[in-house]
Amino acid sequence: MDSVDLEVLHRSNQWLAQGRRALLVTVVQTWGSSPRPEGAMLVVREDGAVTGSVSGGCIEDDIIDRVRRQGITDGLPQSLRYGVSADEAHRFGLPCGGTIQLVMEPLTAASGIDALLARVQAGELVQRTLDMKTGSATLTRASARDMLAFDGEHLITVHGPRYRMLVIGAGQLSEYLCQAALGLDFRVTVCDPREEYADNWPVQGVELVRDMPDDVVMAMNLDERCAVITLTHDPKLDDLALMEALRTPAFYIGALGSRRNNEARRERLLAFDLTLAQVARLRGPAGIYIGSKTPPEIAISILAEVIAAKNNVSLPDILGVEGAKHARKIAANTASGCLVSPPR
């Protein structure tokens, strides 16, 4: 779940603990484009205070107005649609003819928000099943493949970190990268057996392990919702992680380093009995080219490429470090009347 929806759970739990009435609103289906995905949440307090978003438009204002006029009772959850007609879609900031379906849930002790929040904060992926006939909710452990479902009688939502990230190296760049990755709702693990780095790791909310990288990769049982990034510049550590990670279905595997170092790395990996297809999955140098020089800028560059891969966005070669630098070289030499051969 994203950080906005996590804040909704925090606020819901806080208001319930204070004895306030609150209405939890969840997007269960959309037709046409929508600013917020299915599963997005909003919570409204009885006085109209609000946290979260379900449309980024006027629907929030209408819900707040309803709460202020009608109040919040301990009634049962209800389903509500916005934007059935073109006029209504325009009024609520939806695309013409678009529709968004919401579940409006008055929160009570039976909602289980406190238990849900505790399990999510512990790093667990949780499935919450809301009974529309009783207003009570049950919690079970979920898998990364579980999805939101709504049949009119039960609303099933999934909460917690769906994606994992393994970072090899506990240096300064790793600190900036991990801080941002946490904000992007990855469950982050840092692996570094070197005491001089791991002993002073400062980022809270990140699991730090000191085992050898290849052992960590195998122990994590990486799946298609995992990213692996090596940042140590030490082949003895980076290559150990990569030679195992490239055998997994991880959606992103990247390595820091120059173009020359990454070419040498690919040659070494082929010597580890990896296939050409497996080695071709390595993204190195990791990141998109934004002229980054400082650790925070490099972290942004790498995470931009990770998010593109996560969202199945194919980036043109010119956005990669190698392609962009070659394009700049062509532009510079063209201006001076020289010709440049393409990279091999």
Q: What pLDDT does 38 receive?
A: 87
Are residues 223 and 248 in contact, defined by beta-carbon separation less than 8 angstroms? yes
Q: How far apart are CA 300 and CA 295, in angstroms?
A: 9
- Round to whole Å and give the CA distance between 41 and 53: 6
The neighbour count for residue 342, using CB atoms within 10 Å, is 7
Sheet containing 78-82: which strands, arranged edge to edge? 50-52, 41-45, 22-31, 99-106, 78-82
Structure tokens at 83: 């934007």
CATH superfamily of the domain spanning 163-313: NAD(P)-binding Rossmann-like Domain (3.40.50.720)
Cα-atom radius of gyration of the chain, to the nearest Å?
24
Residue 200 has a pLDDT of 83
Domain coordinates in residue numbering, the chain: 3-159, 163-313
pTM of the predicted structure, to 2 decimals: 0.66
Close Cβ partners of 58 (under 8 Å, ≥ 6 residues apart): 91, 92, 93
Q: What is the pLDDT along the chain (344 residues), one digit of tens a residue?
A: 566 788 999 999 999 999 999 999 999 998 766 667 889 999 999 999 999 988 866 788 889 999 999 999 878 999 998 875 556 656 665 555 568 899 999 999 999 999 999 998 887 889 999 999 999 999 999 987 788 999 999 999 999 877 899 999 999 999 999 999 998 888 899 999 998 887 889 998 899 999 999 999 999 999 888 999 999 989 999 999 999 999 999 999 999 998 899 999 999 999 988 999 999 999 999 999 999 999 999 999 999 999 999 988 988 777 776 666 666 666 666 666 665 555 54
Task: Return d(Cα 284, Cα 265) in angstroms, integer.
Answer: 9
